[in-house]
Structure 1
Amino acid sequence: MKYVLEQSNEFIDSYKYLQLATAEKKMEALCDNNYNRLFSIGDDGKFYLTYEKSDNDTGWEKVNLNEFIEKSNPHKTISTKTFAIAQDSQNEKFYLSVVVTIDNVDRLYVSKEEIIYAPKWIEVPFDDSSITSNIAINELYMSTLNSKRYIIADITTNDASKILKRYFINIDSTDDSNKWISHSLPGDFQHIYTSSMGRSYKEAVDGIYTIGSIGGVKQLIYTPSYNYFNPNLAPNSIRLALDNNVNFISAIREESTGYTHLFSCGGNALYIYPYKEQKGNAKAYKILEDENLNNIKNLYSYEIDGKKMVWILNQNGDLFYCFSTANDSALTDADNWSSLVPILTNIKYAYAYPNIKNGVSNYFAYGYDSIINVGKESAITSLWTNQKINLTSLNGPSTKFPSYCTRIEVKNENKVPVAKKKVILTATDYCNVYINNRYYSFKDDPISVFTDERGLVKIVQQADSTVSANFNVTINDRDNHSISIDINPQNKQLDKLTSLNTVDKLKGAKNGIGEILVPDGVKDKNIEAVANSMDIFKDMATSLPQDGTVMKEGLLKGVNYLGTSHKGIFVIRVNGDKVRSFSGDEALINLPPKYLNLMTAKGGVVDDIIYNCGEVLNFIKNIPKKVFDIVIHFVNDTWNFILTIGDKIYSFAVKCINEVVACVQAVYNLIKVTIKKIFDYIKFLFAWEDISRVKDVMKKTVFLSVKYLNDNLKTINIEVNDAIEKMVDKISQMADLDVDTELSKKKITDMQNAYIPKENTNVTDMYLTDYFIENYSSSELEENLKSTLSMDDDLKKAFSILCDAALKEKSVITELINDLNDNLFKDSKFLEYDFLTILKKLVAIIAKSTLSSCGNVLTAATDFFELLSTRGLEIMAKPIVIPVLSDILTDIFGIKPFSTLDIICLLPSIGTTFIYKLATNESPFDDESYDIFMSIESFDDLKKVKQLNTSASDSTTEINKILYCVYHIFAGCIGTIETACQGVELLAKEGIIEPIKNKFFIGITLILNILDVVIMGVGLKIFCPIKDEGVAYSVTLAISIILVVVKSAIDFGDITFKFKKFGDNKVLKEIYNVIKAIATLIEGMCQIGLIIYYLIKRVGKEINDDSAGLLISNCCSIILCDIKTIMDISYDYAKDVYLKGGIEAIRVICAVGYSSVQIALGINGAHVIDVESKSRKFPKFVNLIPDFSL
């Protein structure tokens, strides 16, 4: 079988239950196999590991590493004092040591082996017999090389002397009484400023570099952990020369030898002690001077893939790094070191560490809000992504975040979704995403996921910039042939930004709620400079691989841009608050002198220091004095981005589309367009206010319908009973009606094949639906409202009478099934009948079997329905909580809480609003019409609303026809999907598939059923040719609207109870089935009654073929849907397997017929639409609301 992959993506707000991790007492981190591990001491004194985890709800988990210690010391007070971690750069193994205070005594524990999530700790008791008092363990230091650990502890005695001592912890010793080896401090250190583990030249073991004070003078001394040749003797120390302004040191281990270069920082300078020159009184080499190096707070360093990285956090909260790729002998030359690359500002603490496997850097940091951010460097572009640590939220609202959302649908060759299909995903760069609500972290190592029951794989990637991850998606068919697509979510947003290539376009750009993109006060000349640059960025993006991969060498060889307006060169000049641009020949004569000289001397763009995209763009973002030039130049078959600041030049070759996206974002920042403004501009925004108003109007209509119905139910009961005989007499006349269209001649099988929906759904269409299906099974009423759902005595009594009457209708249903079987389905020519013949036969059979006996239940139904409609509406209006979705609705509409009725009205309101705005370019309700409509108390007041609009009636007719067609085609499409989903429900009911696997199909059926019945009802009312003032017609129409909502509510309640483990409650099931059966039968009678009513009113008058045909076909399609519902109920009571099969066959035929008729009605309605109608003045939406008092 062949498969089809369809995808859509959008930049949109996403929601998830999250708890953001915040700062704790002491924090350090490392990266293992691409996953980040954060170690910390919590406010509760426990030692925690917060670790990144794939295939997880949120992506992070937090565990107590002290659990083993706590269990080993029951009923004791335990608090973590300090810890040390170490990772071996050669094999990525990492180890832990921790000091815990147990009942006021400090104890040292080390991990038995490399750290796992529940480590087995080994206590190393203090064993120096020369010290008899208790000790305080103040600091721990640890390093590892070739799987050997070196641990050093600083202690003070708790006696009066408060002696400061240092020990090497020999955990490998077999002598349990001699593990704490005194590590004498060289000289009498009165104070230790900082220490760093490392290994000096030609030393056999690791040791420790220490800055301390001796006699008030700072000293820098290196001492090995122990004397390798004779552990009983003190090791030899090395004293290094030290600038008095230096307070911080950090060592980098040289990968090939294990020796460490030492860096020191302070007094506006960074120094290096190369490992080969670490001898007595050796002086450091100054490699960088910068005012940001004063008042240092932290210093970190490491080597990753031959690149030496030194990170600095200063007291101002600025985080920088510098780097060098030079060999060891050239590291002392300042020219081989980069400038300080700015990364973050306004932070309180940061910790940088290497991702050894991926060859990049990571950091974690937190600012004054204490929320922890994890920074990850791209291996391709060196662009940084910032990710918050998301822990599972136990309570509180869900969290909203901007995201790229991608929906991938797997379908078979018939466009039917394929569930549980294996999908293989890779990414062009390391990324963190939610796939079907689970967190995954991956790159080019493939991961496998499975489509859900809708054939869907949904990818949500949290965004902190406009740059997205890019994916390749692959599936294999049954012949093991692979089908693959590339997904680049950012392309649409890049096109949107680069299309703003004129001043007018850029100044006129607004987001979805009307806010301008470019802030007020930005000068037109500045806007012009940025707008003019968009064309060269667009050409740059077009020339690069669209799948996000890096351009292969020589790909652009022979390409030139001499025929373009920019000729492959563009200059942006920034001087304070002035931004100017030069393109083509004008750019050539305005090149920065430094760059021009470099081009002349070296024949192209050449740097002594190789920078990358992320580093250069960070320079632009953080330049304190805004005086610089940007040159975009296509030279040597490569796009180059060059930044010149004074006499310094920084450049990189643009080789992937992600870098173009980042450059565009950086250029927009030059005119004060922040990332938030860009997000708001490229983000898809629903017309929430308009949708909310339509929802409110629909909800109001339901309440008014119930009130109107109850006021007139007794009167209409008599009139309807009198009209039953007339209806039966008109059956044969109705069956002879004809509709003169080509559609009526089509075979039903042909229609089914012709109108199968071809288009896939997209992110915005399915936005709320996705969240509803993912979370509705956990829905529940608010706790304090659950007790209000008991049935009162009057309702119980009315229901009992109605049940007795309904039981007598079993024979009617049996007769209906037999008649359908004998007179229609057994007919060998059934599938050859034309469309209208099928409808004639169905109408005649149903009317014969149901109308003549409806008096049996009508009186009882009248009394019960009066109570049920009021009581049921109260229940439907009760607040309901659906995880995540309720938070979205509250955030969007500002209304809390939401009820079942809100949701039922909301879902079709979204489609209604979009369709109306698309056709009219107007909002459905302005402030005045909305306020007036929401203030009405009866149907009579609707006439006041009608007076708001004076548009021509022809215009109303035309727009009604457009909406009529769209509604019915959509109803038919979702009906087809619903039929398939309901089939899966039956398979689960019969035990053919596991019930738990049926979860999503139940959800889909529910959501589609709600949409289907509401849209079906609205579609009928929109283009109803009956214009009558009579109570009978108004009540009949009101009942029709009420019943579609009631049936939706019953379905919602039925499925909710299934997931609340009440699915086997036979009493509840009987209640659902009886109410639904009665609602269906009454609705069917109402629809047939409308047809008869129309014919009676038109006796002796000219009949509008279009109106009659559409009305009759509409009602017949609803009757098909009602038969399908009766078959659903009958299935529950059937015992014989063959009878069940027959009932299901009837249900499927009616369902297929219904869907086909709906689509056909939409298509049929299209032929009467005037193609010029869109140019006319359209009516306000209030004139499309069903008016029951017309």
Structure 2
Amino acid sequence: MSAATDVTLVHSSELMTNYLQAEVIAPDAKFAAVQIDSGAALLVSIGTDRALYLTAETPAARSGWERANVSAAQVASDFPGKAVTCKDFAVARSAGAGKAAIDLAMVISDGTDDHLYLSLGNSGDDTSWLRQPAWVAYPFDAAGTAVRSLQVAGIMISDASDGEYVVVDVIADPSSSEALVSRYYIDSARSGGSAWHPHRLTIDLEASGYVSCLGRPAGGGKTVDGLYMAGRVSGSPQFIYQPLYNAYDRNLPGAPSLFGLPGGAAVEALATCRNADDSSDLYVAAAGALYRMASDDQGDDATPVELFANAHLAGIRSLYAELDADTVVVWGLNGSDEVFYTACPAADLADGGAWSVPVPILSGVEQIAPFVNSAQSSNTFFAHTGAGTLTKATKSPDTLVWSFHAVTLDPPDAMAPARSFSSYTTRVDIAGADGAPASNASVSISATNVTSVWINALYHLVGPEPVQVTADAAGALTIVEPVEALSGTRLTVVYEGVTTVIDPMAGPFGRLTSLTTPAQLSGATVTAADGSSTPLVPPGTSDADLQLVASGNGQLAKAYASVNRPPAIGAGAAAARRGGLTVSSPPDDLGAVLIDAGDLLCWVADRVERDVEYVARLVQDDARQAWQLVVRTADLTYCCVLDCVEQVVAAAQWLFAMLKTAVTDTLAYLEFVVAWDDVKRTKEVFVNLVSLFLALQVDQVEVLRSDLDRSIAGARQSIDGWAGVGDWSGLGSTATTTVGAASTPTAGQSAPGSLLAHHFASNAGAATAVGSVVVPDPSPDPIAVLLEALNREGDTLGDAIGRLDQLAGDAVAMPLEELLRGVVDVVGDAALDSAGTVADALLDVLYDVATATLSALETPIHVPVVSDVLAGIGVQEASLLDVVCWTAALPVTVACKAATGAAPFPDDADTSFLIGVRDYETLAQAFSPPTAVPRAAAGAHLSPGAEALVHAFFHQASGLCSLLSAIVSSLEAADELADNGWSVPSAVLGAIGGGTAGLANWLAPREPVQNHAVSLVGDATTAVRLLAKLLFSGPVQKRFAGTVALRGLSVSDGRGVGAICDAVLVIPALVCTAWHLHELSAKPAASERTVAILDETSSLTSYIARISYAVAVNTEGPPRAVAIGVMAGANVCTGGLQIAESAVR
């Protein structure tokens, strides 16, 4: 970090296992999908409990989807105490001149009769209605018609923009075995006095043997929707169109038009495609072919025109069509449970050769619900697969690559296990023009694919059109893209006009394509987390096949380089880039059928799934400077042009699939594998030494009760009037450089290293204790004394805290000597004495409960996601101390191995000692210089270099805790409730972060304070602060609730009192820091002095964070928000300074 620099965006990406605590939604009995104006999806479904649900895709939500039972309230109101079910529903989205409207219908069955409810004209923009649509009941009231039992056979809603057309099919005679249908249209306004009006059919239709869809022909004053109908009666096919009513007289039936297919073929499925004038083109699937009837060619006796025949059009179960801009898309689900689509430019719809070749996109599908995303122009469908999942499939308009994601809901409870998945995980660290991390910065992100990602644990739908997201309090973004295949998504991140393009695939793809010889392929192994390995390529693979893939890898690398151009940004950019693309089949593959890359890759995936043998190869088209992928099976050959990196990467996995290497194995080979044994040793050193250090502080409480006043008196005598203190010029350029200049918070940060920290910051607020919790129980008398001391010293302390708060806002950007002068001006004898009085009272409280306070750290706890990651490596039960230490140990270990190739704590005697030592005295002795006393008598001593390692590690760990505190403490302080879920994790982070820095300085001091009295005050303040930090958290903080009168602050609850006590302890700590820097200014420049200066500077910024926290939790409104921002920035700076200190050798 520097005092004045440019905006920087630093990123790290890796293919790695990641985790999400969410429930994968099970497919419902029936579902449909529409989109709201933003392009997000809305699923309507009947659940397995036979209730009607709306499931909304929800950006910036945890799971990405929110589900609501929208029939329950109406059922409870209209059928109290009765067992009723939702039998059927319909939904349509219509886009008129204004905003889109979403219309809903549901049918409720009470076991005897069915009941119709409509909710019409719902906004497609303001979706506040989603949780509780306004339903209106429409009892059967058709004039002159009586029914003994109303049995609804089906319901439809039109997507016309000029009116609401609702059609209900009713079983004419439920007692008849023929079950013929009577059809009604609904006048929701009841303009003629009734809502139900008969639509008199000119043909007979059986309830289970017909297909229908709403629409209308063009021209001729046809301003009313009607029904296209096809079915059989007594085995004979029938196919007609009939308006719902006569456009000039509703009491008269509309004139029907009879249609017929060539050769008398029977219609299998129908779909209408609404045009801008509300007329409809009709698409018909029959006998393995797709037919079209243009809206202006639907007169009586008209015959649909065959567009093309295709094997995938056999046995069509459902058909859908939609016009998007200048393209028509038709989707189908065939008898082989395959989803396919075909698309054509709107100008060429009559030309069968202009339609794309349909191939299977997804197999094993039972239901689909498609649409074209209007915001991103992406082909989208939802599929209920035989695997029992609901999958969202999206084809990106630029890359043409398909992505597939499960639809997920929030977990039922905090203990629900997280699911693991392969992902491209990217960490972006953002710094502003001042060099400081851009806390909570608004950042623009666009993507080459339209896909689902999680950004800082919140769901987002990204694509070429930029979306705005917010960095965390540490100025970081963690972007997780789940993947089931090798291809991922390039990202473009923009902040303050500075742009960076991130290609998370580059590293893994490079590793894969580096296997360019048969020997390299045969020798490649997949390494598991436990260290075991398996061959990437099955043993016995022929040399010819190995050579084919090895050569293909070399070609893939060339293709990747040739198409690696900057991504298009914005909705129109993709179309512009593809507008002039002209391709042809390779000269030596004239029989190949040219299809687009995304579809071909899905077809190959289907071939692999069906275990069909194929050969894939790359061909370079020099004339067009393009690469083509050619795939040949026994009976088909397809080819495509590879013109972007996403397509090239996707092609690579199917090259390897020829060797019978599963996609999962390819991903496992390329994924970053955490060496958890190395991380575990680092964590065990961390936990053991921190535990010993904190236990030492407990042991010191009784000594401090008797010695603290004397130590403060000695320190006051030493600094009386700050004689001779005020000139820090001896610090050199450090004195005139800003406080945050040396901070390096991003050093060593990486996507895999931040795995646990990312999930801890997102989930610690939902942590749950497992088993009994030890709650400290301080007696009331010392608490009363503490509150009385705070009130008695309130004026002095309030003035000091207020003045320090004024310094805090600009402290990180101040020159060090300017900040020190401000501190010296505030912290005088009176403030020091008042702080001593409060510290005495705190010690009296801690005397009774210090041991119990530490016990809270050992309580087993479950942190969502984090505990699941640990359970995956065999850690079934962990305390909050364990979890925090794991969280810090991972990035330290990952960074150390990346830099040196070795773990920070190897499996050796030094590490075994540090893990196994059981008392602080023995530990401290091991860090003391060797003496002439024989080793057996003197105790253990660490090998050369171990002391420096421990010093560096614990300062780095302290820095990581401070960076995490910037996020967690901000969330805690922002919560209006004092007793919130973030309270204990925030306190533990503060205690461990402070304790690790203190431990490093005690075990391996670098130019420590020389003045004995000042040193004693510093040690005492550290001890009291660490224990008090833990005490004032969780349930026990309620015991400290009371009113404390401090100038400018409103202190009324236990959290506020604890924060004030912590701020008061800053005063003696500031004295020690200012004095120490004064001593250091007289010493010659050296690395140890540099370490000490960095350490004391980080102490200053940590004091700023503590003062700001006290202000934040004891104020409201804008001042609270400002104080939280200052606190977060100071914590980040502190962490960066501790990390910088750890790097000095």
Residue 749 of structure 1 corresponds to which residue in structure 2? 736
1:515-526 equivalent positions in 2, closer than 5 A = 515-516=533-534, 518-521=536-539, 523=541, 525=543, 526=545
Residue 468 of structure 2 corresponds to which residue in structure 1? 448
Measured in 1, the distance between the counterparts of 2:815 and 2:260 equals: 97
Task: Specify the code of the residue in structure 1 equivalent to 2:390.
Answer: I
Matched, 1:21 2:5: no
Q: Structure 1 pair 869/304, CA: closer, same or farther in 2 (3 Å)?
A: same
Matched, 1:31 2:35: yes
> Which residue of 3, 8, 13 corresponds with 1:5?
8
User: Is the contact made by 2:444 and 2:469 (CA closer than 8 Å) also made in structure 1?
Assistant: yes
Measured in 2, the distance between the counterparts of 1:712 and 1:490 equals: 54
Task: Specify the code of the residue in structure 1 equivalent to 2:775.
Answer: L
Over residues 18-51 of structure 1, what are the superposed CA-to-partner deviations in whole Å (9 max), with x where a residue is unaligned? 3332222221223344222211122343322222
Residue 643 of structure 2 corresponds to which residue in structure 1? 655
1:290-301 equivalent positions in 2, closer than 5 A = 290=311, 297-301=317-321
Q: CA deviation at 1:725?
A: 14
Deviates more, 1:485-494 or 1:1153-1162: 1153-1162
Measured in 2, the distance between the counterparts of 1:437 and 1:524 equals: 45
1:936-1085 equivalent positions in 2, closer than 5 A = 956-958=943-945, 960-961=947-948, 964=951, 1009-1010=990-991, 1012-1020=993-1001, 1023=1004, 1047-1048=1025-1026, 1050-1051=1028-1029, 1054=1032, 1064=1051
Task: Specify the code of the residue in structure 2 equivalent to 1:253.
Answer: C
Residue 185 of structure 2 corresponds to which residue in structure 1? 169
> Which residue of 437, 461, 467 corresponds with 1:417?
437
> Which residue of 596, 604, 619 corresponds with 2:587?
596
Residue 484 of structure 1 corresponds to which residue in structure 2? 499
Partner SS, residue 352 of structure 1: strand
Q: CA deviation at 1:59?
A: 3.0
Residue 631 of structure 1 corresponds to which residue in structure 2? 618
Measured in 1, the distance between the counterparts of 2:1098 and 2:1067 equals: 10
Deviates more, 1:507-516 or 1:340-349: 507-516
> Which residue of 361, 374, 377 corresponds with 2:379?
361
Measured in 2, the distance between the counterparts of 1:554 and 1:1151 equals: 45
> Which residue of 269, 288, 303 corresponds with 2:309?
288
Residue 618 of structure 1 corresponds to which residue in structure 2? 602
TM-score (norm 2): 0.73
Partner SS, residue 437 of structure 2: coil
Partner SS, residue 134 of structure 1: coil
Residue 107 of structure 2 corresponds to which residue in structure 1? 99
Measured in 1, the distance between the counterparts of 2:785 and 2:1070 equals: 20
Q: CA deviation at 1:375?
A: 1.0
Partner SS, residue 495 of structure 1: helix
Task: Specify the code of the residue in structure 2 equivalent to 1:1051.
Answer: K
Measured in 2, the distance between the counterparts of 1:49 and 1:260 equals: 30
Matched, 1:693 2:681: yes
User: Is the contact made by 2:744 and 2:1137 (CA closer than 8 Å) also made in structure 1?
Assistant: no
User: Is the contact made by 1:85 and 1:96 (CA closer than 8 Å) also made in structure 2?
Assistant: yes
Over residues 1111-1145 of structure 1, what are the superposed CA-to-partner deviations in whole Å (9 max), with x where a residue is unaligned? 998998899899999999999999xxxxxxxxxxx
Task: Specify the code of the residue in structure 2 equivalent to 1:24.
Answer: D
User: Is the contact made by 1:699 and 1:902 (CA closer than 8 Å) also made in structure 2?
Assistant: yes
User: Is the contact made by 2:745 and 2:963 (CA closer than 8 Å) also made in structure 1?
Assistant: no
Residue 80 of structure 1 corresponds to which residue in structure 2? 86
Task: Specify the code of the residue in structure 1 equivalent to 2:88.
Answer: T
Residue 54 of structure 2 corresponds to which residue in structure 1? 49
Task: Specify the code of the residue in structure 1 equivalent to 2:626.
Answer: W
Q: CA deviation at 1:721?
A: 14
> Which residue of 830, 847, 853 corresponds with 1:872?
853
Residue 289 of structure 2 corresponds to which residue in structure 1? 270
Bigger relative contact order, structure 1 or 2, given CA contacts below 8 A and separation 6+? 2
Q: CA deviation at 1:2?
A: 7.5
Residue 585 of structure 1 corresponds to which residue in structure 2? none
Residue 893 of structure 2 corresponds to which residue in structure 1? 913
Measured in 1, the distance between the counterparts of 2:589 and 2:486 equals: 32
Q: CA deviation at 1:956?
A: 3.5
Measured in 1, the distance between the counterparts of 2:336 and 2:1132 equals: 70
Over residues 658-702 of structure 1, what are the superposed CA-to-partner deviations in whole Å (9 max), with x where a residue is unaligned? 222222233233334434334434444433333233323433345
Residue 558 of structure 2 corresponds to which residue in structure 1? 539
Measured in 2, the distance between the counterparts of 1:948 and 1:106 equals: 91
Partner SS, residue 690 of structure 1: helix
Task: Specify the code of the residue in structure 1 equivalent to 2:483.
Answer: A
Q: Structure 1 pair 1069/412, CA: closer, same or farther in 2 (3 Å)?
A: closer
Task: Specify the code of the residue in structure 1 equivalent to 2:630.
Answer: L
Q: CA deviation at 1:813?
A: 12
Measured in 1, the distance between the counterparts of 2:1090 and 2:377 equals: 67
TM-score (norm 1): 0.70
Task: Specify the code of the residue in structure 2 equivalent to 1:167.
Answer: R
User: Is the contact made by 2:35 and 2:42 (CA closer than 8 Å) also made in structure 1?
Assistant: yes
User: Is the contact made by 1:488 and 1:547 (CA closer than 8 Å) also made in structure 2?
Assistant: no
Q: CA deviation at 1:285?
A: 4.8
Task: Specify the code of the residue in structure 2 equivalent to 1:251.
Answer: A
Over residues 430-477 of structure 1, what are the superposed CA-to-partner deviations in whole Å (9 max), with x where a residue is unaligned? 34333444433354444334444433444433334343343433344x
Residue 116 of structure 2 corresponds to which residue in structure 1? 108
User: Is the contact made by 2:105 and 2:117 (CA closer than 8 Å) also made in structure 1?
Assistant: yes
Q: Structure 1 pair 868/520, CA: closer, same or farther in 2 (3 Å)?
A: farther
Q: CA deviation at 1:484?
A: 3.2
Q: Structure 1 pair 129/1116, CA: closer, same or farther in 2 (3 Å)?
A: closer
Q: Structure 1 pair 460/1108, CA: closer, same or farther in 2 (3 Å)?
A: closer
Q: Percent identity at matched positions? A: 16
User: Is the contact made by 1:220 and 1:241 (CA closer than 8 Å) also made in structure 2?
Assistant: no
Partner SS, residue 424 of structure 1: strand
Residue 1045 of structure 2 corresponds to which residue in structure 1? none
User: Is the contact made by 2:1021 and 2:1068 (CA closer than 8 Å) also made in structure 1?
Assistant: no
Matched, 1:474 2:494: yes
Q: CA deviation at 1:83?
A: 2.1
Matched, 1:763 2:751: yes
Residue 902 of structure 1 corresponds to which residue in structure 2? 882
Q: CA deviation at 1:262?
A: 3.9
Over residues 720-740 of structure 1, what are the superposed CA-to-partner deviations in whole Å (9 max), with x where a residue is unaligned? 999999999999xxx99xxxx
Measured in 1, the distance between the counterparts of 2:1102 and 2:185 equals: 81
- Number of residue pairs matched by the alignment: 1041
Partner SS, residue 112 of structure 1: strand
User: Is the contact made by 2:173 and 2:180 (CA closer than 8 Å) also made in structure 1?
Assistant: no
Residue 400 of structure 2 corresponds to which residue in structure 1? 382
Over residues 927-963 of structure 1, what are the superposed CA-to-partner deviations in whole Å (9 max), with x where a residue is unaligned? 99989987776679989999999xxx99932464466
Q: Structure 1 pair 1041/889, CA: closer, same or farther in 2 (3 Å)?
A: farther
Task: Specify the code of the residue in structure 1 equivalent to 2:108.
Answer: V
Q: Structure 1 pair 531/1006, CA: closer, same or farther in 2 (3 Å)?
A: farther
Measured in 1, the distance between the counterparts of 2:111 and 2:225 equals: 34
> Which residue of 126, 151, 156 corresponds with 1:136?
151
Name stretches of at least 5 consecutive residues in structure 1 with no aligned partner.
477-481, 558-568, 570-591, 600-605, 737-741, 821-829, 1027-1032, 1093-1104, 1135-1146, 1167-1190
Deviates more, 1:633-642 or 1:87-96: 87-96
Deviates more, 1:679-688 or 1:616-625: 679-688
Name stretches of at least 5 consecutive residues in structure 2 with no aligned partner.
125-129, 805-813, 928-933, 1042-1049, 1080-1084, 1115-1126
Question: Pairwise CA RMSD of aligned residues?
Answer: 6.4
